[in-house]
């Protein structure tokens, strides 16, 4: 019972901290209309967690990963993904721009967000699948990658449809391709790569725990 209380307290702390970050970043975003569109993802995820909280409470690890991803997303929503000034921040710290150091010609924050989607959310997806009855094993490591791939593709279709429906400037801001015609494919590949890394790490961690459990029995 005490463990359960501590767990719920930890989850509420993350929720409170996220609401604080969300409130700060909601003040004077770069483009209010784009900020509203980007926050539909947050509303959808929050609704899913609220509706399913009686059946599924994320573990500390899963909740922390979800929290980190949402923070990255909120940063992108505040500045718009094509205008997050990470290069200026890096230059203020080191005296040289990160884009110049790496030879990048575009803002890379959008790439980071898509990679983070797979890297940070594949584990919570696996946890949900296991809670739903999937046996922890090979398929519990493969299916989260499949889900990341499919949802990434669906999101790119939503971005395309949204850009077609919106006026030119807002549509381009929401799409955030930065004149890269292969942007959707690269975003999907990065998300899948992040999910693959997450599941490899998870698989290694699961295998490492097995001898310890067997020795205790």
Question: ∠ CA(114), CA(118), CA(122), 5° rounding?
Answer: 155
pLDDT (tens place) for every residue of the chain, 217 residues total: 667 889 989 999 999 999 999 999 999 999 888 898 889 878 888 888 777 777 778 999 999 999 999 999 999 999 998 899 999 999 999 999 999 999 988 899 999 999 999 999 999 999 999 999 999 999 999 999 999 999 999 988 887 777 777 666 665 666 666 677 788 899 999 999 999 999 999 999 998 877 655 555 4
């Amino acid at each position: 019972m005490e463990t359960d209380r501590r767990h719920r307290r930890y989850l509420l702390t993350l929720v409170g901290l996220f609401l604080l970050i969300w409130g700060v970043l909601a003040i004077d975003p770069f483009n209010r209309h784009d900020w509203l569109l980007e926050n539909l993802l947050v509303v959808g995820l929050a609704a899913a967690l609220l509706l399913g909280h009686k059946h599924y409470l994320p573990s500390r690890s899963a909740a922390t990963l979800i929290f980190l991803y949402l923070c990255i997303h909120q940063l992108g929503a505040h500045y718009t993904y094509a205008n997050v000034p990470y290069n200026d921040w890096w230059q203020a710290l080191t005296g040289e721009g990160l884009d110049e150091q790496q030879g990048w010609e575009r803002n890379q924050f959008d790439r980071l967000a898509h990679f983070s989607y797979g890297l940070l959310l594949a584990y919570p997806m696996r946890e949900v699948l296991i809670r739903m009855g999937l046996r922890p094993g090979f398929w519990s490591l493969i299916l989260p990658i499949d889900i990341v791939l499919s949802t990434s593709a669906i999101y790119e279709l939503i971005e395309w449809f949204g850009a077609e429906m919106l006026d030119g400037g807002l549509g381009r801001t929401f799409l955030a391709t930065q004149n890269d015609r292969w942007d959707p494919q690269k975003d999907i590949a990065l998300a899948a790569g992040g999910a693959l890394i997450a599941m490899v790490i998870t698989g290694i961690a699961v295998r490492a725990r097995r001898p310890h459990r067997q020795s205790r029995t």
